[in-house]
Every structure is written in C-alpha cells, then in structure tokens.
Structure 1
Amino acid sequence: MVLEAYTYVFAIGTCFALLEAYNNGANDVANAWATSVSSRSVTYRQAMILCIIFELTGALAVGARTASTIKNGIIPSNAFQGNAGVQLLAFASASAGASIWVMWCTAHSAHVSSTYSLVSSIAGVGVAAVGARNVQWGWYDGSGLGAIFAGLAMAPFISACFGAIIFLLIKYLVHVRKNPVPWAVYSSPLFFLIAGTVCTLSIVYKGSPNLGLDKKPPGWIAGVTVGTGAALCLLSAIFFVPYVHAKVVKKDYTLKPWMAIQGPLLFRRPAPADAEQSTVPNYAVIQEENVAADSDSDIAARKEKAAIINGDKTVAGSENSVNATVDQEAATPNYTQEEYRQLMNQAMERHHANLRKSRGPLGWAMRSLHRNQLRGGSIHETHNLIALFKRIPAMIVAALLYGMHYDIHTAQVGIHGSPEGRRMERVYGYATKYSNEVEHLYSFVQIITACTASFAHGANDVGNAVGVWAGMYSAWSTGNPAAAKADVPMWQLGTTAAVICIGFITYGYNIMKVMGNKLTYHSPSRGSSMEMGAAITILIFSQYKLPVSTSMCITGATVGVGLCNGHIKAVNWKRVGLLVFSWIMTIPIAGLIGGGIMALAVNTPKW
C-alpha cells in the first residue's frame, strides 16, 4: 500500500517536473535565443535545431553539478529523518509550485526566472514539510539559499560587465575604424578563441566524474582548455575568415556554406561580375506599424518618422534625431486601451490569415480551426459539440507547429502612437547604427555565441530542472530518502533537456515576442556580446554549483551593452523595471504556492 502511494506521488511529481522543464524551455531558453532571432542572425527554425544540439551537450557534459545543489543544498536530506514519503511529496510539491507559477507567467508573456521559481518553491515546501529551522537559509558551503539568492544581484551585474567589455572591444577595434569591414573579418577568430576556451573549461574543470575529469591536475586542465581554444581559433582563421571575406568583402552571393572547406583558396575565388550590385541584409531595427493608414499623409508621416529613427535623415543617436522623434510625438495618434487591443487583434488575424494560405499540416490546421469556430450558445449545444470534435485534431497540430511559423519580428514592434512604441523609438534614437556589412559579418559570429549561450543554459538550468526529479526518483526507487551525494542518472538529464527543447520549439515564441528589441537596440555585433557575456557568467556560476538564472544573465548583459551606446536613455528602463519586479515577486509567490500545496498534502485528513 505504501509502495502504491509512493508510485502515485512519483507519477504526479514527474508530470509536474517535466511541465516545469517545458516551461523552462518556453521561458528561459526563449529569452536566451531572443537576442539572436531579434538581431536576424538566425531564424527561429535554425535556433530550434541549434538549441537541441547544444542544450543536450551542455546538460549531459556539465549539468549534473547544479542538480546536486537543487536536490540537497536547500533542504538537507537528514531533515526528513529517514521518511522517504515526505521527501518524495516535498519534491513533488516543489515541482508543482514552480511549474504552476512559470506556466501562468509564460501564458501571459510575463518574463520570470524558472530557476528562482523552483528554488523559492523548494524553500516554501521546506518550511511546510520540515520547519523553517531546517531550511538552509544561509550560505551553507555555497549551496544554501543565501548563496543562491546572492546571484539575484551578482549575476546581472557580472553579465553586464562581461557583455559591455566584449562590445567595447568590438566597438573600438572595429566599428570606429574608417574601414571597419577588414578589421571585423580578421578579428573574428577572437570569438572562436573565447567560446572554445569557455566551453572547454566548463567541461574539464570540476567536470564529469564519469569521465574522470574531476581528478585531473591543474596543468592538464589549463593545457586542454587553452589548446582547444587556440585550435578553434586557428581553424577559424583557416576556414572561417576566407569564407566571410568572400561573403562580405567580395560580396560573393553565390558562395555556399559548404564551400568554407576550401579555406584559403577562397581568397583567390573571383567574385561575380554583378557582385557590387548585391546587398547584405538590413539589420536596422525598423518599427513597421501594423496599423491601417487613413490617408496618404498618415503613411508619409510614418515613413518619415521611421527614416529619422533609423538614421536615414539624421545621424542616429544625435540630438537632432532624438529631438525630431520627440517633436513628432505630438503628431502621432494616441489610442485608447480598447483601440490598442483591436489593433493587436487585427495584426494577429493578418498573421493567421497568412498561415491559412500556406500548405502543409499547419495550413490545414489553421483553416480547420477557422472554419469550425464555436458559435453562440453553451458548449453542450449540438453545433458546438460538433465543431469542438472537428477542432481537436487541428488544435493538436497547431500546438505542435504554430511556434515554428510565428513571426517574431512583427510581434516585437511597438504600435505607433502607443506609450511603449514611443518609448522604443526614443531608445533606438540613442543607439548608433553601424555598417550593415560589419553587422552581417557578426551575424555569423553570433551563431557561435548563441550556441555557447545555449550550452551554458544546458549546463545550468537543465541541472536545476532535473534536481527535484532525481530526488523523487531516488526516494521512489529505493524507499529511502535521496542521499546527499547520489548521482543524477544520465537518462534523466537527457530527458529533461529534451523536454526543455520541446518547450522552446512549441511555445518559446510567446516570450520571444516581448523580449529582444524591447529592452534596447539590437544588432548582431551587440547581440553576440550580450550572449557571450551571459554565457561566461552562467558557466562561472555552474562551476561553483550555484544555480543562476539564464534570464537574469542575458538581461544584465543586454543592459550593459545598451549602456555602451553612451547614454542612459539607450535602455528601456520601464521594461527593465518590470522584469526586476517579476523576479522579486517570483520569490514569495512561488514559495507560497509550493508551500501551500505541501501543507495541504501533509495535513490532509486520514481515515
């Protein structure tokens, strides 16, 4: 009977643990990749593929270390006094509390930290299960709540510093040069050196016990780390530099990615006769309003304003540009709340109309949902029951494929005349727009930094998500409380990482549409600095078994790079304030939800 009850609790807890991992992918991973997608360095579909590869690699290579902190560092195993059932129920309640809160926030496009949601929920559960005195509120050898919550202030600040340092290096090494393109081409291997060194160090320093990496001497660690980074730097100089030279400097639009294997031979490859007429993508952030103009004058006014914001008529970031933007605000329409919602609904309907025209399973699903809408009357009316029966298969297909076809760029713009739209315009006005050729080159570099950031997320957040599940599995399978030094099974790390990737693929768009360009002006050179700064911070915290929020790190790096524009108004502080507020509110809310569930479960009447 006891074993049967354990099985029920473990099954329910597993569902909540996987749901928490799913929401982690839809929230934190989406936030990590929003920078690359917003900068147009990768498409959403490309980000999905790269996310799967590097999330799994980071989780399997490094992830188990932070899992031990989540599992045993907050509520010590001996606090359960040998009662495996209470420990199993505690971890199940913690997963439920964290997943419910993050799921609600993700559904409402609210950006929160899944890491701190889980940590706060565990703390609340600990108070309800074993009493506040048994919860590790202090430092506890770097594993207690004091150490974890120290990252709430430390991680964004450290990420901001790293991101700013990297971008300032790019700015003064490349952007301010009279001829910046060659400088950008020949300095690009530096990023391979940094990325290779950081990722290798994260694996071999206090690395996987299964590979014996945790017992290697410092000299061996330093040699492997520096050697790997140097090797990647050399390989990029041989193959990557000639490729981007032909692609950006020679403007060889006929060059295919697989031709990079030719290496230095590409320097001798003749450019097409019409190469000079080819153009690189425009990486300037342009606010295209999803508003139907009433007259030609309205269209002309918006075009003129967009030109001013993007530096076509005045120098971006200059006083004239900012003043012009401010002066035109008086002429822009102000919408009521109801009108604003109608504009957003109209934009969404246009997006759905385009999807209905497409071929394939999603097009069929969207057409089926459009044809079989619920009509007047209660749900049990015959016509609504028939429509609902027809909608179910289409709803399943749409849930799986909708995110892959979501227009992230359209969703990130601000409605013309709205407070947020005007605020974004002012923020963009303070940012200097650099050469599109240089930004195009850094779009290739940003793929490397985005993969590094995804690897870092897998190393940290997958371990956070799997920690409580590993504790539940140990208590259920052995009948004893999970040991303080119990290993996390590799299959659990892999499963959790896979579910996180599924969350990003199917629902990540809901967070990405409110992130990215709404914090500060984005471009590939800025985005690569943000991602690398965040990745370095995350991996440093992982090395010391400290769970840290990927969301907080990428936000801190974004603010740090935004301030490098030279003006405090180059950052959307209203949005930053909302993010910080959501982080702070996560602690008591997630703790109360998890603790409340545990208190109800423990004190349920027994007959």
Structure 2
Amino acid sequence: MLTEYTYIFAIGTFFALLEAYNNGANDVANAWATSVSSRSVTYQQAMVLCLVFEMTGALAVGARTASTIRNGIIPISAFNNDAPVQLLAFTCAAAGASIWVMWCTRHSAHVSSTYSLVASITGVGIASVGASRVNWGWSGGQGLGAIFAGLVMAPVASGCFGAIIFSLIKFVVHVRENPVRWAVFTSPFFFLIACTISTLSIVYKGSPNLGLDKRPAWFIASVTLGVGFGMMFLSALFFVPYTYCKVINRDYTLRIWHIWKGPMLFYRPRPEDADMIVVPDYAVIQHAGDSSAGHDSGLRRLSVQEANDMTTETKRPNEATADNKGSSTDSEIEDQTPPVVTQQSYKKLLAEAREAHHAELRKKKGPLGWAMRSLHNNPMGEGAIYERHNLAAAVKRVPAMVVVAALYGMSYDIHAAQVGVLGTPEGRRMDRVYSMAPKYSNEVEYLYSFVQVITACTASFAHGANDVGNAVGVWAAMYSAWRTGKTVGSRAPVPLWQIAVVALTICFGFITYGYNIMRVMGNKLTYHSPSRGSSMEMGAALTILIFSQYALPTSTSMCITGATVGVGLCNGNFKAVNWQRVGLLFFSWVMTIPIAALIGGGIMAVTLNTPSWGSG
C-alpha cells in the first residue's frame, strides 16, 4: 500500500466523487428534463425513479465502460510500473473534469461530463507521458478516435432511433380516426422494447457482476425475448385495462392499486359525470414566470362555468381586445410591435420569478421552510463580514444554508423557472418553434404520460449502465494503485461497492442540484409532449445501451439531444427545431474538449514538476 501517498488518494477520491455529483446534476438532469417538461412526472417523482433505476443499471451493467476510461486512453505501459504517477494522473484527471463541469453547472451551461472526463484524461496523458504515448487511434473501440467519433455517431444514432419510434406512433396512433383507442391498445409495444433492450444489455456479453459472460447464444435469446414478451403480456393484462378506464372512460375514482383487477376493469361502470372530467392540456405553451400557463397533473373536474364556456365559441385574447376597443383591425393587431425588453428588465423578470418562488417556500412547514425564513429574516448588513451584526447574522445563516443546499432542489418549480420569459427573444423564438409542431389529442398525450414513465426509467437504467462506468473508472484506478502499490492492470475488476457509491453520488447530484440545468433546458429544442418525449427517451436509451455493449463511453446529454432533434424533425418542418440552441449545445460539447484537457493537463504538469522538499 502506498501509505505515503494516502493524501493524494484522498484528494483524488474527493474529485472523483465531485465529478460523479456533477454528472448527476448535469447529464442526469438533462435526461429527465424531457419527462418533467412534458409533465409526465414531477421532479420529486423523477428523483425516486432515478434512484431506483440508476442504481439497477449501474450494479448490473455499469463496470463495462470503466476499462475504456481507465486503460483505453493512456496505455498502462506508459507509466513504466510507476504507481504513484498513475495515482497522481487520475487524481488530476478527476480534478480537471469536475472543476469544468461544476463551473458549467453553476452557470446553467449544459456540457457533457463524459467528454469532460475523457478530455481531462487526454490532457493529463500529454502532460505525464507525452502526446506520443496517448492512444489517439481507434484501438478496438477503446482509443480516442473511437470515443470522439461518438461526438457525431451518438446524436445521429439517437436521432434516427427517436424519429423511427415517433413516426410509428404518429402513423399508427395520431393520424387515426380514433387515436385514443389505438394509443391504449398499442401501449404494450413500449413494454416490449424497454424490457427487451434492458434485459439484453444485462445478459449479452455477460454482466460483469452476474457471471453471465459464458452463457450460450440460445440462453441470451430466450431470456431476452422471454422477459420482453412476458412484460408485454403482463402490460396487456393489467396496464391496458387500467389506462382504458383512466383515459377513455375518464374514471376519476380509479386508483393505482385497482390495476391488479386486470381485465375485470373493462366491466367497471363509467362514472355518470365522466363528461365533466378533463385531462391535462398538453398543448399549453409555457413561459417562465407565467404560472397561469400550467395545467393539472391528472384528471380534473370541470367547474360549471368552464362547462358552460365549452359550449360556446371563445375568442382569442387579441380579438376580444379589438372588439372592446372597437377601433382596431386584425391587421393592425398583427402589426403591433412587441414590448421592448432590455437586459436589465429581463434580469428583473427572472429575479421576480425567483423571489415569488422563494416566498412560497417560506410559507411551508418543515426544515426547508424554516431555513428559507431564517435566510430571509437574517440578511447580511452593511460593512465587512467581521462586523458584529454580520457575525451574528452569519451564525444564524450557516445552519439554514446547509438545509437549503440539501433540500432546495427537491421543492424547485422547474416549469415556473424555465428561462424563456414571454416577450423576450428566447420566448418569441420558442413561440415560433412551437407553432410549427402539430398538437395532438390531449387524451392520447395523457395516455403516453403513463408510457413515458416507462421510457424515462429505461433511459435512467441506460445512464447507469454507461455513465457510472465512466465516473467509477478513474476512482477504481486510483484505489487499485494506492492499495496494491502497482499500476492498474487492464483486466483489474472494479469493486461493487465503488460502483454503488458512485451511483448514489450521481443520484444525489441530480436530486440536490439537477434543477439548475433542468430549469434552462426544458422545452428549449423543440415542442415537447408525452408521446414525443417517450420517443426521445427510448431513442436515447437504445443508443446508450448499444454503445455500452461495446465499451464505448458516450454522453447521455448528446444522445437525448440527438433524439430530441430527430423527433422534432418528424413534425415535417425544419423550423420546428430551435437550431440556435442546438448550435450552442454542439459548440459547448466541442469547446469542452480543449478546456477540460487544458485544466487537467495543467494541474498534472504543475504537480508532477513541482520540486520536492529538500531537492538540491
């Protein structure tokens, strides 16, 4: 054991876990933003589901890509059996990646934590063993050539998968005369795809943690298809009757535990006032700070006034204004110039929305409400921190700040805080993008909100299978070099407890800080709805699982972005995608490579060449 280098291992562990935390706050948040933006799940529900399926994917599959991160970029032979240098190298790599992603997450900038880590390792390799020793080629899918090829391959593959799945939904369900029934009775198809792909990712080539690496082909095929079609049969037996009553019959008295009645639910009497029940309005365009744009998350009873309003033709706001004034024509209204919003007024709108959210939190009971009230009632006063009144305020604020850091994200209103305030350039741009997308039946979208929970869980499983391996790779290398005093072998196993710790850290990052990315991503690429979101998540999950099968680290963010663009193009109009946002995302991915490499390589160069104590 390299006891004299324990402090380096401790520092490396801190940065490795910080990189995993940032992975959850950035990549996982982006993956779940589709479901939360479509209102298929709440942020709180996403936290629980993420924890379950992220851990499952990590423990079942997650060690596969660790060898690529650990050994594929810098060959083991390059360290010449110098374990302390290898320990230092991966410590600096974790530091470089975590510093860059943390800065980006703090400023709500969306980057790839996977490529940040890969680039940082590359920079460290150049600084420690020289550019000639870094594996720049394909190298059986483990070199930088293969990894950086994923910068294009992954988004394109995800876009194709997402477009194919949504096209099937569009032509099998949406364009039918009775789309709701088609949506209900074709929903088991998603169970088939999700369970087949997830099972295949575990048994094909064998999960390192389940001893499946020597199973024959017939075993893999039978288990995979058996699980897939088995879940399809169970969904047809239980899920279809439940959604039939919930969506078609609008049975608001139905509860989730009634799902076990299966086909008997078809004989359940329809409520007499079912016509007074409406489903969420998924066609609503949401703007930050416009709380009235939201809708309920489940079935809702119409009020008498709303029922009366539905029997008469309602006017658009602009038309009503014109009638009241009696002097404006439609052409004059269309020519009206939108209000001018300056940078100062834009920031003021965001600050007002944030303060309104904080005011609601201060009214709550429990630890978070107490903490928010403590911070509000004890502001820092004038003068320096050492002034007596500031010291007294700081003593009261520090415990409250700890509570807020742990619990604030769990109560964050993602929809009210999305950047894109009505009247700003971003808001007007998204209005134009949304107008290019056809809006389908709310009943159909409500059905797919149930389906999207399945696809979101599959995407979270896929993320655990891929990104946990990326994050744990450098930490496992540090631990092995520190514990054995030898450079890490190419076949060294990754301890299961390390995978579990990293997976939990990723989930913790999503729960406590993921809102910082979700609040600016949301529906900023194209129009979202549950049927579209299901296709996006399934397309991204397919790509991630295929890449992880071949030990190719890929970015969850890139996959979900590619799938989102692919589904957006299925609207039949090139303008249905916000290409400015797509360009900014691609620019951030590309710039991540040199910046993370410079940070990691710079730290390694300075540390490695620092004169030791007592050197002459």
Deviation (angstroms), 1:31: 0.3
CA shift in 2, pair 1:565/1:327, >3 Å: farther
Residue ranges of structure 1 left out of the alignment (5+ in a row): 294-306, 314-323
Matches of 1:212 and 1:143 in 2, distance apart?
23
1:283 Cα offset (Å): 1.4
Q: Distance in 1 between matches of 2:362 and 2:158?
A: 42
Q: Read off the aligned partner of 2:346 and give its amino acid letter.
A: Y
Distance in 1 of aligned mates of 2:315 and 2:18: 42
Asked if the contact 1:109/1:510 (under 8 Å) is kept, the reply is: yes
Q: Deviations over 1:362-386 (max 9, x none)?
A: 1111000001111111111111111
Q: CA deviation at 1:334?
A: 1.8
Q: 1:511 to 1:421 in 2, by over 3 A?
A: same
Retained in 2: the 8 A contact 1:333–1:416? no
Q: Which residue of 1 aligns with 2:373?
A: 367
Please report how far the alpha carbon of residue 206 of structure 1 lies from its aligned counterpart in structure 2 after TM superposition: 1.1
1:547/1:534 Cα in 2 relative to 1: closer, same or farther (>3 Å)? same
Is 1:584 equivalent to 2:590 in the alignment?
A: yes
Q: Which residue does 1:300 correspond to in 2?
A: none
Q: Is the 1:284–1:310 contact (alpha carbons within 8 Å) kept by the matching residues of 2?
A: no
Residues 242 and 267, structure 1, Cα contact 8 Å, conserved in 2 = yes
Counterpart code for 1:273: E
Partner of 1:134: 133
Counterpart of 1:538, as a letter, is I
Aligned to 2:276: 277
1:499 aligns with 2:498: no
1:103 & 1:325 partners in 2: Cα distance? 49
Which amino acid counterpart does residue 200 of structure 1 have in structure 2?
T
Tell whether 2:421 aligns with 1:426.
no
Residue of structure 2 in register with 1:252 after alignment: 251
Separation in structure 1 between the aligned mates of residue 381 and residue 246 of structure 2, nearest angstrom: 55
Matched residue, 1:113? 112
Paired residues of 2:287 and 2:418 also in contact (CA < 8 A):
no
State the distance in 2 between where 1:350 and 1:309 align: 31
1:440 matched to 2:446: yes
What is the letter of the counterpart of residue 277 of structure 1?
A: M
Question: Secondary structure of the equivalent of 2:554?
Answer: coil
Return the alpha-carbon distance in structure 2 between the equivalents of residues 499 and 68 of structure 1.
Answer: 20
Equivalent residue number for residue 386 of structure 2: 380
Contact conserved, 2:64 with 2:208, CA < 8 A, in 1? Answer: no
- Name the SS of the counterpart of 1:409 in structure 2: coil
Structure 1 equivalent of residue 409 of structure 2:
403
Give the aligned partner of residue 296 of structure 2.
none
Q: How big is the shift at 1:411?
A: 1.5
1:330 and 1:292 map into 2 onto residues whose CA distance is 25
Give a deviation string over 1:444-492, Cα, whole Å, max 9, x none: 0000000000000000000000000000000000000111110000000
Q: Is the 8 A contact 2:61 2:209 kept in 1?
A: no
2:559 aligned with 1:538: no
2:337 counterpart residue number: 331
* Cα 1:43–1:289 shift into 2, 3 Å: closer
Give me the whole-angstrom Cα distance separating, in 2, the residues matched to 1:600 and 1:199: 44
- Report matched runs for 1:275-314 at 5 Å: 275-288=274-287, 290=289
TM-score with structure 2 setting the length = 0.92
Residue 302 of structure 1 corresponds to none
Taking the aligned partners of 1:369 and 1:487, their CA distance within structure 2 comes to 47
CA distance in structure 1 between the partners assigned to 2:452 and 2:225 by the alignment = 22
Read off the aligned partner of 1:346 and give its amino acid letter. Answer: E
Cα 1:392–1:264 change in 2 (3 A) is same
Q: For the Cα contact (< 8 Å) 1:74–1:135, is it kept in 2? A: yes
CA distance in 1, matches of 2:34, 2:315: 20
Residue 145 (structure 1) aligns with:
144
Match of 2:575 among 569, 572, 578: 569
Structure 1 CA distance, aligned partners of 2:230 and 2:181?
A: 22
For residue 302 of structure 2, what is the aligned residue in structure 1?
A: none
Asked if 2 retains the 8 angstrom alpha-carbon contact of 1:286 and 1:310, the reply is: no
**How many residue pairs were aligned?**
583
Deviation of 1:394 after TM superposition, in Å, equals 0.5
Change (3 A) 1:516 1:95: same
Q: Distance in 1 between matches of 2:428 and 2:497?
A: 49
Contact 2:63 2:208 in 1 (8 A): no
Alignment check: 8 A CA contact 1:518 1:572 kept? yes
Over 6 Å off, 4+ runs: 307-313, 324-327
Contact 1:75 1:136 in 2 (8 A): yes
Deviates more, 1:408-417 or 1:348-357: 408-417
- Percent identity over the alignment is 70
Structure 2 CA distance for aligned equivalents of residues 168 and 37 of structure 1: 22
Report the alpha carbon displacement of residue 21 of structure 1 after superposing the two structures with TM. Answer: 0.2
Number of the residue aligned with 1:449: 455
CA offset at residue 210 of structure 1? Answer: 3.9
The residue number in structure 2 matching 1:523 is 529
- Corresponding residue for residue 303 of structure 2: none
- In 1, are the aligned partners of 2:375 and 2:397 still within 8 Å (CA)? yes
Matching of residue 393 in structure 1 with residue 399 in structure 2 = yes
CA contact (8 A) 1:446 1:525 kept: yes
CA RMSD of aligned residues (A): 2.1
How far off is 1:209 after superposition?
Answer: 3.4
C-alpha contact 2:206 2:215 (8 A) present in aligned 1: no
- Return the alpha-carbon distance in structure 2 between the equivalents of residues 312 and 523 of structure 1: 26
CA displacement at 1:331 relative to structure 2: 2.7
- Counterpart amino acid of residue 584 in structure 1: V
Residue 211 of structure 1 and its aligned partner are, at CA, apart by 2.5
Alpha-carbon distance between aligned partners in 2 of 1:148 and 1:326, rounded to the nearest angstrom: 55
Q: Unaligned stretches of 5+ in structure 2? A: 293-312, 320-329
**Contact 1:308/1:325 (CA < 8 Å) preserved in 2?**
no
Paired residue for 1:316? none
Query: Aligned to 2:417, what secondary structure does the other structure show?
Result: helix
Distance 1:325 1:565, change over 3 A: farther
Q: 1:214, CA displacement in angstroms?
A: 1.2
CA distance in 2, matches of 1:356, 1:25: 27
* TM-score with structure 1 setting the length: 0.94
Distance change (3 Å), C-alpha of 1:538 and 1:4: same
CA spacing shift, 1:140–1:292, aligned 2, 3 Å? closer
Structure 1 residue 310 displacement after superposition: 11
